[in-house]
Every structure is written in C-alpha cells, then in structure tokens.
Amino acid sequence: MIASATEISLVFVLALVGLALLVFGGARVCHSSPPDWKALREEMVKYQIEAREVTNPRVLRAMRTVPRHRFVPESQREKAYQDRPLPIGHGQTISQPYIVAVMTELLDPQPGDRVLEIGTGSGYQAAVLSGLVEKIYSIEIIPELAETARIALAAGGYENVQVITGDGYAGLPEQAPFDGIIVTAAPEKVPEPLIEQLAVGGRLVIPVGGWSQDLRVLERTPEGIRTTKLFPVRFVPLTRSEDVPEP
Ligand code: SAH
C-alpha cells in the first residue's frame, strides 16, 4: 500500500519534534543549573550538625559559611555536603562535616587564638577555623596536598592560614605555645612535642589509636594535663617522614 501525502507529512513532523526534543532535552542536561550550594550547606548544618548537638553559634556560623565544595576534587563536588568523608587523592580524605564541626567546637576557638593544625589535607578544616581565631599554622606531609590546599585557601581569601609542608609530629616549636592544636590524622599515641607546645588553658584535640581509635581532648591546666576521652572515630593514620609513600 502506498502512503498518502498526509501520512508522510505527519511522520515527517513527528520526526522533527523527536529531533528537537533530543537536541534541546540534551542541551538542558548539559547546561543544567549548578546546585544551590548555600541551601545544601544549610541542610548539612541543620540535619547533620545541629541535630547531633553541636551548639557553639560561632562554629555553626562557620560551617554555614565555608564553601566545602571548593575544597574537594572536581569529581567529588556534587557530594561535598553529604554526611561522610570524601577522597581528596593520595589515599587521604576530607573529614565528614559533623566531625569537623565537633572537633572545632572541642577546640573552643577564641578570636585572639593562635592554632596549630596537623594534617592540612584539603584545607577545609583550616578554612573553618579561619574566621574563628587569629592565626592558623597548618602542617601537611604530602607536598601535592599542601599545594592544592594553599591554592584553595588563597582563592577563598583565608589569609590568616599558613600551610607548611612537612611532618607535623614534632609540631612547630618556633611558633609555640599554641592556644589550640588540632590533629586530623591518628597517631598510635599522643605525640609528646604537641603536649609540650600547648599554652596554659590550651587544648589539643586528637584522634588516637590504630585500627580502633578514640577522639581525645588534652587540656593544659596550671596543675598539669587533663585528658578526656570522647567517642570512637576513624581517621587516616598519622604518618612519619620515614614512612611517606613513594609518589
Ligand atoms: N583536616 C583535613 C583532613 C585531612 S586527612 C581536611 O580538612 O581536609 C589527614 C591529613 O593528614 C592527610 O592529608 C595526611 O597527608 C596528613 N598527615 C598524615 N600524617 C601527617 C604528618 N605526620 N604531618 C602532617 N600531615 C600529616
């Protein structure tokens, strides 16, 4: 049977509509609008952080403000505000948002404080501290991560953070004492030099252990060191200069 002219033109029109849908539908996927990062951050703070009883208003404000998605690799960006750690390359991770918030609250940051961080990683924890204290020295043992963090921190205008490449086990005696020290990789035991570099009233927040770790706060009081053990955590191990993996 031979198709009529009307039938042929109907098929032609349908084909055109299909083509248009393909082209413009596809274009819509390619140029989809970027995620509403601010809204994602609000949700992160409400459901992951406030809901788990982090209450320090300055800490909550910092968590609402710092663009976490700018501190993770491009491939992880969409997942930046999820309730979990994310890979940042070189076998390392950026901590879960809740853990960053808890450790920051435990440090009890004050506007005039000078803080030492061991394990810069992505630079995110340092950026969160940036608005809460006067100065942050952050030591990272993997040079490539230190460099990426420096770039992200400079791009965000976090000018009071100084990233130092090296093994943080020995702390930074030339800038000691510190009002706060935060360690974001786990040693088997608390490094003695870090305790020594705490000012009176200063706090050291640190995960300790091997396979099984717990989060601890060591506070230097006029009488000595007071240690509080909190809850189980899972951090990457604190490595020493001699066991840094080959690139
Ligand atoms: N605070 C980071 C989390 C980083 S994960 C963030 O906000 O993203 C821990 C980091 O500690 C890793 O980058 C790891 O390379 C680093 N690290 C491990 N051992 C170290 C050491 N001895 N000195 C300094 N950094 C160390």
N-to-C CA span, the chain: 71
Question: Which of 238, 241, 243 has most ligand 1 atoms within 8 Å of CB, for mutation?
Answer: 238
Give the pLDDT of residue 242.
74
Find how far residue 185's CA is from the centre of its chain. Answer: 13
Find how far residue 204's CA is from the centre of its chain. Answer: 19
Question: Is-contact 204 217, C-beta < 8 A?
Answer: yes
Distance from the CA of 133 to the center of ligand 1, in angstroms? 20
Is the pLDDT at 12 greater than 60? The verdict is no
Q: Is 138 in the pocket of ligand 1 (CB under 6 A)?
A: no
**Three state DSSP letters for 144-199:** HHHHHHHHHHHHCCCCCEEEEECCHHHCCHHHCCEEEEEECCECCCCCHHHHHCEE
Give the pLDDT of residue 39.
98
Residue 105: which of 51, 44, 52, 55 has the closest Cα? 55
Half-sphere exposure of residue 238: CA atoms within 13 angstroms, side-chain side? 25
Tell me the per-residue pLDDT of 225-235, one tens digit each, with 9 for 90 and over.
999 999 999 99
Is the pLDDT at 21 greater than 60? The verdict is no
Own/partner long-range contacts of 227-234 (Cβ < 8 Å, ≥24 apart): 230/106, 233/99, 233/186, 233/207
Tell me the per-residue pLDDT of 103-149, one tens digit each, with 9 for 90 and over.
999 999 999 999 999 999 999 999 999 999 999 999 999 999 999 99
CATH code, residues 37-239: 3.40.50.150
Sign of CA pseudo-dihedral 232, 233, 234, 237 = negative
Question: Is-contact 221 198, C-beta < 8 A?
Answer: no
Residue 63: which of 43, 92, 78, 33 has the closest Cα? 43
What value does the mean pLDDT of the chain take? 91
Give the pLDDT of residue 33.
86
Whole-model pTM: value is 0.87
Tell me the per-residue pLDDT of 28-67, one tens digit each, with 9 for 90 and over.
445 578 899 999 999 999 999 999 999 999 999 999 999 9
| pLDDT higher at 26 or 237 | 237
Alpha carbons 165 and 24: distance in angstroms, whole number:
49
Is the pLDDT at 93 greater than 70? The verdict is yes
Tell me the per-residue pLDDT of 76-87, one tens digit each, with 9 for 90 and over.
999 999 999 999
Question: Which of 68, 69, 118 has most ligand 1 atoms within 8 Å of CB, for mutation?
Answer: 118
Amino acid at 100: V
